[in-house]
Structure 1
């Protein structure tokens, strides 16, 4: 399976440096949390990993290659950056069929991923009638269509109820148990503490911590305290965002 290696990654937008010389690894077979306050540079970093924006310096490699050099990118990487971009009048199953066709993936995967994300019963409903949580599941289904080695998710728990969060936790762990590389950006620190093996924390575009969760915290409150210390975030603000 492919891992992710980030080396000296930086991104400037005019006079603003959004990401500053990030260096960290995301190993296969584990769930890694990518944490930071709003505006810390997390989404910009994930977009550079996926080749959606070019870095100003440094590189992000997946299995030793930049995303645009991967021979079969949709079979190597599955990603969800936002639960949007769905045609509201299209049925969930049809959206997946089109996504599979565009990516030159097997149509047989459609029913498999619908079952995997728990959308089989809603597959023939129009996406416009989906809740936010159901759209999150549909986005996950698209990401999993290629049976990818690497899964990159930005706030995948947004809109999920407690049962949905428990389901997501088990899904992420199962993907890691299969040897896949999983990186998840999230503000829900209590859930992160129950789910991940490793943590990467950034603040104002710079790296604050990278390593096993056990080196930083052994529970939700401990992770929250460490996060606040490393980012200098006001307690009330951080609790509200998480």
Structure 2
């Protein structure tokens, strides 16, 4: 069924990570913006490359807080599952402890498959609030999406703009039909799917344009046409490490 546009755009959301090396810049930018801290939703992540363990997760959160200059982070994620079962479970336990201490408001994961999510469930740990995965018409990750919906895990979609691969005729035709550009159609598709898209651009004009997705609705026919573009894992445009053991 087609989903209409939300009544209001989402809150200001900045998605970052330890491996991006920009936490300090993000913190400085928030302060310079004049916005209240509570009006900006900040996400960061700990990757396997930074070491997945209980103590290191706690230390990494503390380092992030120093970098940001904040008292808390709204959402902290396990960036990827590549460290192996026991290490990622320990890192997740560390993030839950950081949440208990008030340093993190919400805890989630990124690039977790059904297998990885089941590990958390079977361990008896608190369910992740978010799973952030590569998600766009070419790589729709349907088994992961179905699992997250079943258990009420919020789905964040990274690479929703397929890194500018906009020459697909179906996308071009839908954009032309609505007098929109392809990026706006892709954001709209993601929203109507019930995902939280994370579009990225270094150009202020493009950032503003990408957010202009609340004044039109894709029809059921539009959605079905875009849905038909799925080619599974081979459609990924990023690292997409959901299949690691």
TM-score, L = length of structure 1: 0.37
Higher RCO, 1 vs 2 (CA within 8 Å, ≥6 residues apart)? 1
**Structure with greater helix share of residues:** 2
TM-score, L = length of structure 2: 0.37
**Structure with greater strand share of residues:** 1
